[in-house]
Homo-oligomer: A and B are copies of this chain.
Amino acid sequence: MATASMLSVEDALERILTYFHVLEPEDRALLDCLGQVLAEDVRSDIDIPPLPNSSMDGYAVQWASIAGATSETPRLLRVLGEVAAGSLPHQEVVPGGAIRIMTGAPIPQGADTIVPFEDTDELERRRRGEGKLTEIAILKELRRGANVRPAALDVAKGQMVLSKGTELRASEIGVLASLGKARVKVIRRPVIAVLATGDELVEPGQVLSPGKIYDINTYSIAASVLRYGGIPRVLGIAQDNLESLEAKVEEGLDSDLLITTAGVSKGDYDIVKDVLAHRGQIDFWSVRMRPAKPLAFGVLFQRDKGGRVLKHVPHLGLPGNPVSSMVAFEQFGRPAILKMMGKEDFAKPTLEAILEEPIINDDGRRVYARAIVSKRNGVYYARLTGHQGSNILTSMAKANALAICPEDVPMMKAGERVKVQMLDWAEDQS
């Protein structure tokens, strides 16, 4: 085993990431950019709240008018009017007067304190059948300024509220709405062309003739692209001949990344490598990992009719085995997508679990074993999903994690602590 000539996972990823940059901004409607990253600093043009306002339904009063109030010694005030949320108060609160006020409504001139309904006799008066109230008894002295929210309590005009690079979740989208932003500049989502190669492949839904198998990788990889926020462009299946491959690869050049599956093993009898090498600069790597040792990476050139290079399009060539291609996508495709989207953290998150059965590592590669991680009494445990052959996709469907055995560890025993990459959190299943 020539493991010395193999690339480590880290080195392969580092080389790959140098080819990707944060994509350009686009201007989008607020509800269309969940999960995208802000491409601009957002400052507020307004104070929030814009005016001092009431945090309760109640009566706006001058504090001096209610000083000393108790249920035994209530203060009787004249009701001067009413102000609803969204209206401006037209009257002023004078000594001995009160204005009925709704939550969120601006504080009338003259008032400095809000007395909530429950500290007045309003409910009692209503029960007695009083119609429009002309006076109200205050049953409690509150502190001066009670239930008054000052202007700009949440955000001051000119304040930086969300900075460039922030990922937009539901709460950030709410914050942008509160500033009055109907549209916002975000980093656009990358378009990822997905191409399966191989004469043996048939599209699902078609009849399977003897010797053929259904194309899996187009679906598992395109779904993975979607999951991490990219826009998959499905190119379908290229046959193993020059015309078919050339045409499909050409189609894929109008994307931010072309992902192919199969045809990248070092020993392979495969036209895929010839076409790719002819179209650009592609390296064929052996990565010190299992599954997914063979990997191709490089750039393809989009040329005009005169042959001049218009654009470089990164190319990631994943292995043909469905498990290998998914595991390699997680390690190399996912970070590329996240980097293009402007996300800051594209390392795959890991946690530590107790291994419940051994992982054998017989050839010095880093093993990504399909595993089921579960939590019992606050501790994570990892068991494997059975046969780890890279053609066994059902084992990937059973797994929710990849348990990692380092390249220099020939065997991990049951009971040892193992690093696991989560494929989906419990939260993600929602």
List residues of chain A with CB under 8 Å of any chain B CB: 30-31, 34, 46, 48-51, 55, 57, 84-88, 102-106, 117-118, 149, 153-155, 161-162, 167, 169-183, 198-206, 208, 210-224, 226-229, 232, 234, 240, 265, 267-269, 320, 322, 326, 334, 338, 343, 345-346, 349, 352, 378, 389, 391-394, 396-397, 399, 422-430
Contact = CB atoms under 8 A, between A and B. Distances in A.
How many copies of this chain?
A: 2
Given A149-B391, A169-B223, 7 more contacts: A30-B219, A169-B423, A171-B326, A174-B393, A228-B430, A338-B430, A345-B429
Contacts of A267: 57, 117-118
Contacts of A55: 389, 391
Given A170-B326, A229-B430, A320-B104, A269 B57 contact: yes
A115 to B, nearest CB: 13
A428 B430 contact: no
Contacts of A161: 394
A223 B46 CA distance: 23
A192 to B, nearest CB: 13
A142 B149 CA distance: 82
Contacts of A326: 170-171, 174
B104 A200 contact: yes
A174 B223 contact: yes
17 contacts: A30-B219, A34-B223, A49-B391, A50-B213, A104-B320, A153-B389, A169-B397, A173-B219, A174-B223, A174-B396, A174-B397, A175-B216, A176-B204, A345-B429, A346-B430, A349-B427, A425-B428
Contact of A86 (B117, B179, B200, B227): B200
Nearest to A211: B88
A31 B219 contact: yes
Contacts of A423: 169, 171
Given A170-B326, A391-B149, A397-B162, A213 B104 contact: yes
Contacts of A391: 49, 55, 149, 153-154
A205 B223 contact: no
A50 B210 contact: yes
A139 to B, nearest CB: 15
Given A201-B86, A213-B48, A430-B343, A174 B31 contact: no
Contacts of A334: 430
Given A171-B397, A174-B220, A216-B178, A422 B427 contact: yes
Contacts of A228: 430
A346 B224 CA distance: 23
Contacts of A173: 219-220, 223
Contacts of A208: 46, 50, 180
Contacts of A218: 177
B205 A183 contact: yes
Nearest to A101: B269
B211 A393 contact: no
User: A49, A177, A392 — which one has the most chain B CB atoms within 10 A of its CB?
Assistant: A177
B427 A31 contact: no
User: A46, A48, A105, A204 — which one has the most chain B CB atoms within 10 A of its CB?
Assistant: A204
User: A169, A268, A326 — which one has the most chain B CB atoms within 10 A of its CB?
Assistant: A169
A172 B210 contact: no
Contact of A167 (B172, B200, B211, B429): B429
Given A34-B223, A84-B240, A213-B48, A396 B171 contact: yes
Contacts of A422: 427
Nearest to A349: B426
B426 A428 contact: no
User: A174, A181, A223 — which one has the most chain B CB atoms within 10 A of its CB?
Assistant: A174
Contacts of A170: 220-221, 223-224, 227, 326
